[in-house]
Structure 1
Amino acid sequence: MSAAWSSEALWLLTGGAAFAAGVLNAIAGGGSFLTFPALVFAGVPPLAANATSAMAVSPGYLGSTWGFRSELKALPKSLLQREVVIAASGGLIGAGLLLVTPASVFSSLVPWLLLLATALFAAGPWLAQRNAGQGRQAWRQPGLMFVAIYGGYFNGGLGILLMALYTLTGEARLNTVNALKNLNSFVLSLLSVLAFALAGAIVWPQAVWMMVLATAGGWVGARLAKRLPVQWVRNLVIITGLSMSIVFFSRL
């Protein structure tokens, strides 16, 4: 499919996807729903596209984390330190699992992973209401470890799962959820992409180009996140996730 496109058009496609991903990640997560398919469309094999996509969006998390620094400062330092360690550990475990997964197996899992992330995000508020007052805090950090492993393995939908996790475990303030999501996404993505880089799984020309634009998008998105209506953001992420799931199911 990408053969009909010029190389310049493919660079514009991946760059535009990276900028939009940075914006989307800062607002509600799901940016890899854009960068991963764009790289596959541009001809990058799925496993390498996943590693390159993770590298591309990781600086955007830093930009958006900076945009939510006031929300992070309001949280206990001990809590942030524990969750950063958990996120880092899970990211490394997930990256290790990806590197030993056969490419054919990973390709068949992609649409199911996308659909799972989208479904959990969509059901987050409903599940949070049903579980109110039922000791949800007790599984916040075990849940973070699971999501971090997922994020190290497959970056697509990472932000969505983190937002679902924090919503389910009782965090009602959307800006605080976004701040935690961006911080932990940056930490686990940073370590997982280091593992990918050492293993030679990253396509560097596209990664560097997309990193620059994703960082700019992250800064813009952090500013937008505090202005957009919450339901608009949720609907945008759900539509994006479902659309990308359909696209990848059609490729099986």
Structure 2
Amino acid sequence: MDLDSALLMLVAGLLAGAMNAAAGGGSFVTIPAMVFVGLPSVAANASSTVALLPGTLASAWAWRHDYRSLQGISLATLLAISLAGGLAGAVLLLATSQRAFDHLLPWLLLTGTVAFAFGRPLGAMLRERVRVGRGSVLAAQVLLSIYAGYFGGGVGIMMMAVWGLLGDLDIKAMSALRTLLVSAANLVAVICFAVAGPIHWPETLVMLVAAIVGGYLGAILASRMPAPVLRGFVILFSTAMTALFFWRAWG
């Protein structure tokens, strides 16, 4: 890794950590940055998951006193689904050819961007019209856990939108549970990636350390800036990255 690549990893890690702490969407920075320095997209995706894992685990620890079951669905059941789904998603990523993932990545970025931009209002709108049973929520949780292990952009917002269809739930408890389950899926995916070996460690370690620092700075930033401004920045940035990767894959 040359100096220019190291500097890009440093800046991307700082920005991604700050975004995750303030509003979310850090993977929209880390994956493109790793691709731009020459990492294959599958390795970039896996390495990004590793680099951002400490931040998600720290968030899960911070929420530890607020974990609750979900409308009669036990925490143990949800954790088991997340761990199994995260492993399945990681294995699926490793089985995806480089060429196929290069063409799939823009669509994954688009999915994450749409979920980030419209997940909350769509979830609120659906809650006014739709109620679902626990079986449907469990089935959706399986799919979302697989998505978390495979790519994961916007998955936390997707989870909360689906859970909201059960009825009125405590937003604080939902946020805590979302953080725990996404962390569980990411953790098992990281273990799988580490064993299988697609991680590029020099770039990952620089970004990991920078993301921890960025997370601290992002928490300070979030306390001083309006939330809509932060969300707007993430949406604009992720939209630009999505458009760039569509051009890269299909242009």
Residues 1:20 and 2:20 are matched in the alignment: no
The structural deviation recorded for 1:79 is 4.0
Aligned partner of 1:40 among 30, 35, 54 = 35
Could you report, residue by residue, the CA deviation over 1:9-68 in whole angstroms, capped at 9, with x for unpaired residues?
221211221122122223333211101111111111111111111111111111222343
Query: What is the CA deviation profile of residues 154-190 of structure 1, one whole-angstrom value per residue up to 9, with x for unaligned ones?
Result: 24x1xx2221330343277665554333322221111
**Structure 2 letter corresponding to 1:249:** F
Q: Aligned partner of 1:162: which letter?
A: G
Residue identity over aligned pairs, in percent, reads 38
Aligned match of 2:233: 236
State the aligned residue count: 242
Q: Please tell me whether the aligned partners of residues 91 and 148 of structure 1 are also in contact (alpha carbons under 8 angstroms).
A: yes
Which shifted more, 14-23 or 218-227?
Answer: 218-227
Match for 2:84 among 67, 83, 89? Answer: 89
| 1:9 maps to 2:17 | no
Conserved? CA contact 2:18–2:214, under 8 Å? yes
- State how 1:162-177 maps to structure 2 within 5 Å: 162-170=156-164, 176-177=173-174
In structure 2, C-alpha distance between the alignment counterparts of 1:176 and 1:243, rounded to whole Å: 33
Deviations 1:196-231 (A, max 9, x none): 111111111112222222233334445655665443
Which amino acid is the alignment partner of residue 135 of structure 1?
R
Name the CA distance, whole Å, in 1 between partners of 2:87 and 2:53.
14
Residues 75-114 of structure 1 aligned to structure 2 (within 5 Å)? 75-76=68-69, 79-114=74-109
Q: Aligned equivalents of 2:83 and 2:192: distance in 1?
A: 12
| One of 38, 41, 61 as aligned partner of 2:56 | 61
Aligned CA distance change for structure 1 residues 196 and 122 (closer, same or farther; 3 Å) = same
- The amino acid across from 1:106 in the alignment is F
Distance 1:230 1:90, change over 3 A: same
Change (3 A) 1:29 1:184: farther
Once the two structures are superposed, residues 111-168 of structure 1 have per-residue CA deviations (whole angstroms, 9 ceiling, x without a partner) of 011101211332223322332252246343322221221121124x1xx222133034
What pairs with 1:164-203 in structure 2 (closer than 5 Å)? 164-170=158-164, 176-203=173-200
Question: Match for 1:120 among 115, 121, 142?
Answer: 115
Change (3 A) 1:234 1:81: farther
CA distance in 1, matches of 2:215, 2:173: 16
Return the alpha-carbon distance in structure 1 between the equivalents of residues 176 and 9 of structure 2.
Answer: 26
Deviation readout 1:50-97 (Å, 9 max, x if unpaired) = 111111111111122234345x25x34974333222211111000111
Question: What is the aligned partner in structure 2 of residue 3 from structure 1?
Answer: none
Q: Return the alpha-carbon distance in structure 1 between the equivalents of residues 106 and 31 of structure 2.
A: 12
Q: TM-score, structure 1 length as denominator? A: 0.84
Letter in 2 for 1:123: F
One-letter identity of the residue aligned with 1:167: A
Distance 1:235 1:175 in 2: 23
CA 1:246–1:167 in structure 2 vs 1: closer, same or farther (change >3 Å)?
A: same
Q: How far apart, in 2, do the equivalents of 1:80 and 1:121 lie?
A: 25
Q: Aligned runs of 1:145-164 on 2, under 5 Å?
A: 145-155=142-152, 157=153, 160-164=154-158
How far apart in 2 are the matches of 1:24 and 1:137? 34
Helix, strand or coil: the match of 1:55? helix
